[in-house]
Structure formats: structure tokens, C-alpha cells
Amino acid sequence: MKTCMICEKGTLAAVEDIILDVSGYVFIAKGERCGQCHEEIPYEDETRRMINAAKKLGVWPEPLKLYRHLSRSSGGLILRIPSDIERQLELDEHGEIAISKVGNKIIIETEG
């Protein structure tokens, strides 16, 4: 038997009742469950099957990718955030964000 990669104490047992909820749709998958920490790990082919079904139902989230032009200000470049994202993240001009560089990507996270 395999040892759980999460708790490293329990052993994984094959199960057929892993329940996953995607936007209110319930999927039942086969996989393994740890006898110690009860972590559930669906099999890869089961996960792929559920993702394909969720995509067909239109409930699998696609990554948001927007394209914006940068503007120049005396202090540097300005990036405008669309108003719908501003509302969803409850941003305002007094809020703080964290900006990180990871490889060639810029990560912007809300603070607080």
C-alpha cells in the first residue's frame, strides 16, 4: 500500500465515492483516500473526465486574461484595472495591493 503524501503517516485505500462540487454540479470520482488524515486524491483519468464534463456544462472556469495598454506618468507606468474587477475585488483608491515579479510575470494581489 502507498503512504499518504500529505500526512506521510496513513496509507491510501482505493475508493469510488470522492465527491467534488464544481459550481453546484456534483461529480463522483474514483481515487484514493488516506486512512489517517482522510485526504482524497482522485485518479488522473477521473479528474480529466470531470474537467471535460464541467467544460461541456460551461461551469469549468477559464483563466481570466485581459489585455491593457500601459500609460506613462512622471512616477512610472500606470496600469488601469477594469471596473468589473474593481467591484468584484472590492478595490478602491485607498486600498493596498501587493505587486510581485515571478519570472516574466507580474502578480497583483489584494491586501487585507
* Chain segment 68-83, per-residue pLDDT in tens: 889 999 889 998 988 8
Neighbouring C-beta atoms of residue 12, cutoff 10 Å: 20
State how far the Cα of 42 lies from the Cα of 48, in Å rounded to an integer: 10
* Chain segment 36-66, per-residue pLDDT in tens: 999 999 999 999 999 999 888 888 877 777 8
16: Cβ contacts below 8 Å, ≥ 6 apart: 28, 30
pLDDT of residue 83: 85
DSSP H helix total and E strand total for the chain: 2, 7
Domains assigned to the chain: 12-57 (no CATH), 71-110 (2.10.260)
User: Residue 95 above 90 pLDDT?
Assistant: no
User: Residue 34 above 90 pLDDT?
Assistant: yes
Average pLDDT, the chain: 89
Confidence of residue 112 (pLDDT cuts 50, 70, 90): low
